[in-house]
Amino acid sequence: MNWNRVLHFATNGNPEPDVRVHKTEEEWAQMLDPETFRITRRKGTERAGTGALCYIFKPGIYQCVCCGASLFDSSIKFDSGTGWPSFTQPIKENAIRYEKDVSFGMIRVEVMCNACEAHLGHVFPDGPPPGGLRYCINSASLVMKDN
């Protein structure tokens, strides 16, 4: 993945996910705690440096807290100094959904779980080589499964 590919998806549509998960807002609210619901279903964010997964760098797979879809591998996680878990690439191209986000007077690219459309965070073109991407993700959007 690179920034041009991200922009292509955000502008022209996303790849099909392996599976789709559909639930009503009421069903999501019943299964998630209020903070996780606020972040994943209402496009919220957690305060920098407060997420449980910010500073964990052990081997594992990061999955969507809502539907369990695999999103990121720990081998592509890095300390960006931002206070949120940061990754250089998704686990596979169709794991993430991209949408243009013009909230708060900025133009950004929102990233979501492509299976259930849970809000994860945003992707920026200021990450390390080779792709130059920084997926800045809310800890509350993820669960980690050990390898």
136 is catalytic: yes
Q: How far is CA 69 from CA 50, 96, 111, in A?
A: 23, 10, 14
Tokens for 117?
């459309």
Q: Smallest Cα–Cα separation from 74: which of 63, 89, 58?
A: 58
Query: Which one of the listed residues 66, 67, 116, 136 is annotated catalytic?
Result: 136
Query: DSSP string of 33-80?
Result: -HHHHHHHHH---PPTT--TTTT--SSEEEEETTT--EEEEGGGEE--
Catalytic residue numbers read: 136
